[in-house]
Chain A
Amino acid sequence: MIISSDSAKPIYVQIAEWIETEILNGNLKENDKVYSQYKLAEMFTINPATAAKGLNMLHEEKILYNKRGLGKFVTAEARMIITDKRKNRVLKGMLQEAALEAERLEVNEEELINMLHTIFKERKGDTK
């Protein structure tokens, strides 16, 4: 991953998302130890305090747990929490964008929902 300073996302969020993706990919499994703040800082050339903030965020969300003196580890529920979170956030965001674009184009609610129905129908047809 390349950390982008131009991104709307603060760097600690980018770090947290990178670790989440490592968990989703299976590169980090339940009870695996995650990189320390110093390791992350070195990997991405960022301040260790920023890396720590990313790790703490995941700890607060119960994706990671602490072992005193040993570091942070992946919880059993990590994958589920991440999937849930991304569903809510990413999918909802896309739908909001769609609603906004529909307004700009003066497409009403019913029309938009009909379009969505059609897409689902077409996809079902594809998989048959």
Chain B
Amino acid sequence: MNVIECEKLTKKRRQLTALQDLSFSIEENTITGLIGRNGAGKTTLLKILAGFWRPSSGKVEVFKEDPFQNLFISANAIYVDDQMRYSSRLTLSEILTEAERFYENWDAELANRLFDYFSFHPRQAHHHLSKGKMSTFNMIIGLASRCALTMFDEPTTGMDAGVRKDFYRALLKDYIANPRTIIISSHHLEEIEDLLEDVLLLDEGKKYFHLPMDELKEYAVGISGRTEVVMQWMANKEVIHNEQVGNNATYAIVKNDYFSIDQAKQLGMEVSPVSASDLCVHLTSRSKGGIESVFK
């Protein structure tokens, strides 16, 4: 069953097109990574799915319903980001109590265990928390709400490396115990890729691709060798990125087809894997030369 279905979803804000003709669907009980550069439209998409914003045109359905200001969606989908605001009169433990009243599947035991593990104080105020602590607290709300659709928008902002690791582990363990549909947006694909089943890559408001993580890992390879050899070999290939390395060598990222890779090896070029995270950066980079082209 598809939990989310979008068809030609478009969102315009003043002059700017934040999302353009976005069509995709997300299956129940999968973990999807929402990846893209700054301003690619990740937050806009998530806010539309959560029912905060209305699309300009196109179709969006969450649990077969229009999410915009929809109470059923509010109760069954949660959107977690670093802008979450609560009444400043509530203490942290009061926020947890209120959340328990709102979310039907709230897991109070998990919430309290995480609360203690991360050493929160029950009488602390949310707006006095540090950036990292605030993200950690919001993550607890996101996990404990156990919503059928759980969306994390850059959940690890400000968290230190240890807490990030704990968060990913907690997310996975709770997902295994209580499967649900999860979307995580992140700039750190390398940190979350092992958790993901699918990746949705956005580029300037458009879908670049929506692929299973395993396919993304085999999507492209890195080739390096003498410039003239590499250049000649690349002539009829789909080149994603290429740069000069040293005097007479070139490193290039090309779309993977197994036949030509063998050929490259035969020609004495070195073939190396390309991390999913590097690949996404190069795929959505504005110029093939990257930042280097600025300093020419």
Contacts and interface: CB of A to CB of B under 8 A. Distances in A.
Interface in B1-50: 30-31
B275 A47 contact: no
B275 A6 contact: yes
A46 B275 CA distance: 16
A5 B268 contact: no
Given A6-B275, A7-B273, A100-B265, A48 B218 contact: no
Contacts, number: 53
Given A3-B194, A47-B197, A10 B218 contact: yes
A9 to B, nearest CB: 8
Contacts of A11: 194, 214, 217
Contacts of A98: none
A45 B194 contact: yes
B197 A5 contact: no
B194 A47 contact: yes
Contacts of B223: none
A48 B171 CA distance: 13
Interface residues of B, number: 24
A5 B190 contact: yes
A48 B175 CA distance: 10
Contacts of A45: 168-169, 172, 194-195
A12 B214 contact: yes
Contacts of A8: 272-273
A79 B275 CA distance: 33
Contacts of A47: 31, 172, 194-197, 213
Contact of B273 (A6, A44, A49, A104): A6
Nearest to A48: B176
A45 B190 CA distance: 13
Nearest to B276: A5
Interface in B206-230: 213-214, 217-218
B173 A42 contact: yes
A12 B273 CA distance: 16
B193 interface: yes
Contacts of A6: 273, 275
B193 A5 contact: yes
A104 B275 CA distance: 29
A53 interface: yes
Interface in B178-215: 190, 193-197, 213-214
A69 B21 CA distance: 43
Contacts of A44: 194
User: Which of A42, A45, A103 has the most C-beta atoms of chain B within 10 angstroms of its own C-beta?
Assistant: A45
Nearest to A46: B194
A86 B196 CA distance: 29
Contacts of A10: 214, 217-218
A49 B169 CA distance: 16
Interface in A3-23: 3, 5-8, 10-12
B30 A104 contact: no
A50 interface: yes
A6 B214 CA distance: 13
Nearest to B268: A104
B214 A5 contact: no
Contacts of A49: 30, 197
A127 B194 CA distance: 46
A38 interface: yes
10 contacts: A8-B273, A10-B217, A10-B218, A38-B176, A42-B176, A46-B194, A47-B172, A47-B195, A50-B197, A104-B268
Which 10 A-B pairs rank lowest in CB-CB distance, beginning with the nearest? Answer: A8-B273, A49-B197, A46-B194, A47-B197, A10-B217, A10-B214, A38-B176, A47-B195, A45-B172, A45-B169
Interface of B: 30-31, 168-169, 172-173, 176, 190, 193-197, 213-214, 217-218, 265-266, 268, 272-273, 275-276
Interface of A: 3, 5-8, 10-12, 38, 41-42, 44-50, 53, 100, 103-104
